[in-house]
Amino acid sequence: MKINSITVVPRKNRPTVLGKTALEFFYIKNGVYSDPYQVCSVVLVRDQVHSSAKLSTIANGNPEVFLDYNASSSRYGQLASGIVSSVDCRWRNLDYLPDTDAKYRWTHVVDPASSQFNVVNYAGDVSSASGIFRVKEGHYAVVLQPAGLYVSSSWKSSDGNEYDATGNATQSASGSNVYFDIWTVVDSPGSAAKTYINKVQLYSDTIMGIAEPLLVTSKNTLVQKYVTAHSKVNLKIRTEISLNDKDTAKDIRTIFNESVISDAQIRVRMFNETDGAWQVLNDWTDVDNITSSDTIIYSTTFSVVGRYEVQVKYNLMDEILYSDKFSLICR
Per-residue confidence of the chain (331 residues) as pLDDT tens digits?
Answer: 889 989 898 888 888 888 899 999 999 998 889 999 999 999 999 898 777 777 778 888 888 888 888 888 878 888 887 787 788 888 988 887 766 666 656 678 999 999 999 999 999 988 888 899 999 999 999 999 888 888 765 545 454 444 455 566 788 887 778 999 999 999 999 998 999 999 998 887 666 777 778 888 999 999 999 999 999 999 999 999 888 877 777 777 777 767 788 889 999 999 998 889 999 999 999 998 888 889 999 999 999 999 999 999 999 988 999 999 999 999 9
d(CA 187, CA 189): 7
| Residues 169 and 296 placed together within one structural domain of the fold | no
| Residues 254 and 125 placed together within one structural domain of the fold | no
The CA angle 108-113-115, to the nearest 5 degrees, is 70
Alpha-carbon separation of residue 224 from 221, 309, 311, 315, 326 (angstroms): 9, 12, 13, 23, 10
Domain C-terminal end among 168, 202, 236: 202
d(CA 237, CA 24): 21
* Residue-range definition of the domain harbouring residue 133: 2-202
Considering the domain boundaries, does residue 221 fall inside one? yes
Which CATH number fits the domain that encloses residue 286? 2.60.40.1220
| Residues 130 and 93 placed together within one structural domain of the fold | yes
Residue 84's pLDDT is 72
Spell out the long-range contacts of 236-241 with Cβ–Cβ below 8 A and sequence spacing 24 or more.
236/295, 236/296, 236/297, 237/266, 237/295, 237/296, 237/298, 237/310, 237/312, 237/323, 237/326, 238/293, 238/294, 238/295, 239/293, 239/294, 239/295, 239/296, 239/314, 240/294, 241/216, 241/217, 241/294, 241/316
**What's the count of helices (H) and strands (E) in the chain, helices before strands?**
1, 26
116, 94 Cβ separation under 8 angstroms: yes
Domain count, the chain: 2
The candidate with the shortest Cα–Cα distance to 270, out of 218, 225, 210, 310, is: 310
| Residues 125 and 26 placed together within one structural domain of the fold | yes
Residue 162's pLDDT is 46
| Residues 195 and 225 placed together within one structural domain of the fold | no
| Residues 172 and 302 placed together within one structural domain of the fold | no
Alpha-carbon separation of residue 79 from 18, 56, 93, 243 (angstroms): 28, 15, 18, 43
Domain C-terminal end among 202, 230, 253: 202
Considering the domain boundaries, does residue 155 fall inside one? yes
DSSP-H helix ranges across the chain: 250-255
Residues with Cβ within 8 Å of 276's Cβ and at least 6 positions away in sequence, in order, are none
| Residues 194 and 246 placed together within one structural domain of the fold | no
User: What is the chain's Cα-based Rg?
Assistant: 23
Considering the domain boundaries, does residue 209 fall inside one? no
| Residues 198 and 227 placed together within one structural domain of the fold | no
| Residues 94 and 35 placed together within one structural domain of the fold | yes
Residues with Cβ within 8 Å of 294's Cβ and at least 6 positions away in sequence, in order, are 238, 239, 240, 241, 259, 260, 261
Residue 246's pLDDT is 75
| Residues 45 and 166 placed together within one structural domain of the fold | yes
314, 265 Cβ separation under 8 angstroms: yes
d(CA 4, CA 120): 5
| Residues 261 and 176 placed together within one structural domain of the fold | no
d(CA 45, CA 83): 9
| Residues 170 and 79 placed together within one structural domain of the fold | yes
Residue 239's pLDDT is 96
Alpha-carbon separation of residue 249 from 213, 216, 283 (angstroms): 13, 14, 39
The candidate with the shortest Cα–Cα distance to 129, out of 152, 153, 109, 150, is: 150
Domain C-terminal end among 174, 202, 230: 202
pTM (predicted TM-score)? 0.77
d(CA 149, CA 130): 6
Considering the domain boundaries, does residue 260 fall inside one? yes
